[in-house]
Amino acid sequence: MKIADVNELLDEEFEELFKNVVELFPKAAKTVVLQRPFDSLNELTVAFNNYLENLDVAEKIAVLQSHPDLAGKLLFENKLSVDSANEQAGAGLDKLTDEQKNQLVKLNAEYSEKFGFPFVICVRQNNKIERILEGLHQRLPNNREQEITNGINNVKKICQLRIENIVELD
C-alpha cells in the first residue's frame, strides 16, 4: 500500500489497519488518523512517534503494559497478537533451550517486579537471545524513569517496523 492509499482510507479502515502498530493499543491509530493526509511514510511514522512521546507517564506505562513478556506463557499458549508472535518467532524465542528460557523468565520477572511493566525491546533489531539477555542485564540497574523512556523508544522502533510492513517505502 502506498501513502496515497493510506490517505484515502476511511477513518475506520485506517484505524483497523494500524490498530496494532502500537501493541494492543488501538487508541494510537484513532488519534493519528486525525492528522491525515501524510506526505510520506516517514511523516506517518513521525505522527505515531509524536503520539507516543506526548503521552503522560501513566499512558506511557499503559502502552508498555500492553506488551507481552518475551518468551512468556502467551507465546507458548499461542495467545500473542499475530505481530508479536511473528516477531518473537523471528528472534527464535519460540525455540529457546530450557536454560535460555529459564534465564529469560527469571530476568523478565525481576524487571516486571522492579518497574511495573514488561521488558520491551525491539526483537527484530535484537534478534538473538544473547542480545536480548544482554539488554535485560544492562537495563535492570536503571531507574523507572529511564526504563519508561527506554521502553517507549523501543515501542517506537517496533511501531516503525510494523508500519513499514503495511506501507511501501516512498
Distance CA 21, CA 15 (A): 10
Instruction: For the chain of 170 residues, list the mean pLDDT of each consecutive stretch of 10.
Output: 98 98 98 98 98 98 96 89 93 93 96 98 92 96 98 98 94
Residue 91 dihedral angles phi and psi, to the nearest 5°: -90, 5
Active site residues: 67
Distance CA 79, CA 84 (A): 10
CATH code linked to domain 69-154: 1.10.3330.10
Reference 121, options 111, 110, 135; nearest CA is 135
Whole-number pLDDT of residue 162: 98
- Alpha helices, H only, the chain: 3-8, 11-17, 27-32, 41-53, 57-65, 73-76, 82-90, 98-115, 129-139, 144-166
Whole-number pLDDT of residue 169: 86
Neighbours of 82 (CB within 10 A): 8
Q: Are 123 and 87 in contact (CB under 8 A)?
A: yes
Whole-number pLDDT of residue 76: 84
Whole-number pLDDT of residue 127: 81
pTM for this model (two decimals): 0.96
The domain segmentation of the chain, as residue ranges, is 3-61, 69-154
